[in-house]
Amino acid sequence: MGCLFCDGVPDETILERLVREKPELGLEFHGEGEHVSGETEGIVFGTKWAMVLGSLKEVGHAAYSKRIGEVADQFTHIRGVISRKP
């Protein structure tokens, strides 16, 4: 099993496993490259630029929003989205 927060955000494998092993949560995993509407409620995870010890670095990041389109611009690279099943 991968490290849950090794780079600051959950690993896709861990999130896929959560969705698969806890169907009662009613969640869907959308991996990199899958289209998800900006109107979707969910958690976006990936990387963004941030100051770390005085220098700009790309770091892991995750953000929840009622409309993921409102937080998507925080990311330099979106690795996936977790949303509720319709």
- DSSP letter string over 12-61? HHHHHHHHHH-GGG-EEEEETT----TT--EEEEEEEEEEETTEEEEEEE
pTM for the structure as a whole: 0.76
Give the start-to-end residue ranges of the domains of the chain: 12-84
Low-confidence residues in the chain, pLDDT < 70:
1-13
What pLDDT score does 4 carry?
Answer: 46
Give the C-alpha separation, 27 to 77, whole Å: 22
**Rounded Cα–Cα distance for residues 20 and 28 (Å):** 9
- 69 contacts 63 by C-beta, under 8 angstroms: no
Residue 37 is predicted with a pLDDT of 93
Half-sphere exposure in the Cβ direction for 82 (13 Å, CA): 22
Task: Write down the pLDDT at residue 2.
Answer: 42
